[in-house]
Amino acid sequence: MAKRFTAITVPWKELEKKVPPDQRVKFLAFKAKADSYFRRVQANPPELPKIDWEKYSKIVSNQAMVEKFKKEYEGYKVPYPEDKLSATIDEQWKSLEPEIIVFCANLDKEIEMARKELDTMKKLPKFEDMTMEMVRDLFPEQALDPVKNPTFWPHDAESQLDYVPDKPKPNK
């Protein structure tokens, strides 16, 4: 017979930390539904209620019927599905763990790079306070240089005199 769950084993606090803010309402609805299922299971006793068969055998005149009901009641077992997938899932999880660790390490590196970039952006003066000279000094590769490289407005590649469009690739 399958075991009865007597306590909630889901780490809701840890799970809640990982939920994005825009999904919080759905997460709370899911948690409420899971809690209601758990309460409904806990409201029922783990075993079938005990019946006083002696009392029924005294009241009912047909003893064969009481014995038949007793035999069927005590012989009834709630059919629980056999767990055939847990071992497969555990094997898949063990094979995926190294990939997950590598993926998380790569994400941590990207997060660190993004933090460094944010720190450099925070050190810049406010946009309102920047002058064109400051932009040229801070971002020389992106700044306009009218002396060495004059361009026409709107200063994109297609608006320049020496622009040559890419030839379309022939259809095969």
The parent domain of residue 19 ranges over 1-46
Domain total of the chain:
2
Q: Note whether residue 2 is domain-resident.
A: yes
Q: Is 154 among the domain residues?
A: no
Is 54 within the bounds of a domain?
yes
pTM for this one?
A: 0.43
* pLDDT score for 92: 95
Is 25 a domain residue?
yes
| In-domain check, residue 134 | no
The answer as to whether 130 is a domain residue is: no
Which ranges constitute the DSSP H helices of the chain? 12-17, 24-43, 53-59, 63-75, 86-123, 132-138
Task: Express each pLDDT in 87-99 by its tens digit.
Answer: 999 999 999 999 9
pLDDT in tens, 130-166: 988 898 888 888 888 788 888 888 888 888 888 888 8
Cα–Cα distances in angstroms (integers) from residue 98 to residues 10, 11, 13, 76, 104, in the given order? 24, 23, 25, 46, 10
In single-letter form, the type of residue at position 104 comes to C
